[in-house]
Amino acid sequence: MWSHRQSRLRPLACGVEELRQRRREREAALRKARREQHLVSKRLLREDAQEEAGSSNSAVVLGEAEVKQFLSLAQRGTDENEREKALVSLRRGLQHPETQQTFIRLEGSMRTLVGLLTSNRALLQLEAARCLHELSHSEISAVAEACLPATSYLLTYLSGHSSEFIELCLYTLGNLIVESEAVRRQLLPQGIILAFATCIQSPHMAVLEALGYALSQLLQAKEAPEKIIGSVLDSTLPQHMLQLMQPGPKLNPGVAVEFAWCLHYIICSQVNNALLITHGALSTLELLLLDLAGAVQRMEDEGLELLICPVLRCLSNLLAEELLEAVEYQMQPKDERVVVALFILFQFFLQKQPSLLPEGLWLLNNLTANSPTFCTSLLSLDLIEPLLKLLPLSNVVSVLVLRVLCNIAEKGSAYCQRLWPGPLLPCLLDTLALSDTEVVGQSLELLQLLFLYKPEAAQAFLQQSGLQALEKHQETQLQDRVHALRQTALHR
């Protein structure tokens, strides 16, 4: 009798290990896919009130003769006022792609504009920089290449005294950096990272927000993991970034959003996430998450989703690091607060930003994947039922909810004992009725774990017409897994 029981236990151990290995491989593929999701965009600064109001002075397409005329007046006008007005007219014309192409085709046009940018007249410098900014926002790649002669000067002016001018230079550089590899090749040896490390110490929030934008554009370059991010990590930028993301009365939401995305791109590169963890990235992000949940509770949630998204992604990807998997990471004594904060955010997402639910569930998945502590928190705080209520929302949400439940079940019989009985069986029967292969596959995996660790679950499944629910998938790509589950259920 004893030897018979031993033979029954061997398949149990193998089954669990097979499931774990399969889940690890699938998680690795999913993490890679999520790391590669980047956010490329350009920014445009326009502060001309007449322009925004659409007055008679609004932008018109300029021909070659008009571009030449305005450049000539800007260079040799009778007084500074006339020269400035000429540059304003040119800038408005450069809002049109047709004028942009005319400008870059015109011989000597960029040389003239750079000369005005480097003049000793502050107003002319500012208007010349605004012309370059309009060009940098172009969707025509050749326009960014044409701006290359100006980039070294824009970089130099980051050490100037005018916060308005520095802000403009940063946004212009950010637009050009993301568009042109030639611009990046020129600026990297000229010390753009060192210049950014100086800018991040500015007391001006507008400068910091512009810097965050420019840095995020640089970090998204295709060559960033090999040629850029290592230098960024070796600089003082990461420590300052984390300081600017510390929750408290000094936290500026716009600045925090920009640097949270910067942190996200650095983490996704996997160049040296151990260094970020050493600098306290996990604790900073955890505290910021708690603060965001508190803001939701206080109904101070306007624009909050802009910061929540990168914070969730940063935490999720850091928790997926092998160095944290090797040694279980526990945020004690704040672990339960993190779980509670996530469920507060889930309610916020349901009401206002349902598209962010998968981001929060991905974090919950990574929290529970290697931590019995977080699994226990979900059970002790009675959060399984609220989690199950998310299942009908979408297939993507269903898969993530089921994956979290698998994380809990995988921890062993004591955890499965607390999962079952309850509302889980009816929910799983509902998911088995769906046609989505991934949802059904994840449901089968959860049932397999439950049957292995808690035989009573298999009996209840059979009593509730579970085999009939499986029949629908007998002839699909899941047929082998359906057959294995059927055999497990019948022999428990």
CATH classification at residue 236: 1.25.10.10
Q: Is residue 334 part of a domain?
A: yes
Q: Is residue 458 part of a domain?
A: yes
Question: Same structural domain for residues 221 and 352?
Answer: yes
Q: How far apart are CA 241 and CA 252, in angstroms?
A: 12
Q: How far apart are CA 177 and CA 151, in angstroms?
A: 10
User: Per residue in 460-481, is it b (16+ CB within 10 Å) or e — as a string?
Assistant: bbeeeebeebbeebeeeebeeb
Question: Same structural domain for residues 197 and 259?
Answer: yes
Q: Is residue 185 part of a domain?
A: yes
Question: Same structural domain for residues 203 and 332?
Answer: yes
Question: Same structural domain for residues 209 and 121?
Answer: no
Question: Same structural domain for residues 214 and 266?
Answer: yes
Question: Same structural domain for residues 79 and 175?
Answer: yes
Question: Same structural domain for residues 218 and 186?
Answer: no
Of 190, 217, 236, the domain-final residue: 190
Cα 246-155-135 angle, rounded to 5 deg: 100
What is the domain extent for residue 125?
A: 62-190
Longest dimension (CA), the chain: 108
Helix axes 163-179, 205-219, angle to 10 degrees: 10
Question: Same structural domain for residues 365 and 225?
Answer: yes
pLDDT of res. 54: 44
Q: Is residue 19 part of a domain?
A: no
Ranges of residues in the chain whose predicted pLDDT is under 50? 1-14, 31-32, 34-36, 49-50, 52-57, 326-328, 330-333
Domain count across the chain: 3
Of 156, 190, 224, the domain-final residue: 190
Of 140, 159, 190, the domain-final residue: 190
pLDDT of res. 77: 82
Question: Same structural domain for residues 95 and 156?
Answer: yes
Q: Is residue 137 part of a domain?
A: yes
Question: Same structural domain for residues 435 and 350?
Answer: no
pLDDT of res. 50: 45
Whether a cis peptide bond, with omega within 30° of 0, leads into 333 is: yes
- Residues with Cβ within 8 Å of 207's Cβ and at least 6 positions away in sequence, in order, are 163, 166, 167, 170, 199
Question: Same structural domain for residues 174 and 228?
Answer: no
Structure tokens at 100: 């942009």
Q: How far apart are CA 487 and CA 490, in angstroms?
A: 5
The position carrying tokens 């060192």 is 194
Q: Is residue 446 part of a domain?
A: yes
Q: Is residue 12 part of a domain?
A: no
Question: Same structural domain for residues 294 and 202?
Answer: yes
Q: How far apart are CA 287 and CA 289, in angstroms?
A: 5
Structure tokens at 240: 């300052």
The model's pTM is 0.86
pLDDT of res. 87: 95
Cα-Cα end-to-end distance for the chain: 16
Q: Is residue 387 part of a domain?
A: no
Whether the Cβ atoms of residue 461 and residue 447 lie closer than 8 Å to each other: yes
Of 165, 148, 57, the closest CA to residue 111 belongs to: 148
pLDDT of res. 96: 94
pLDDT of res. 27: 52
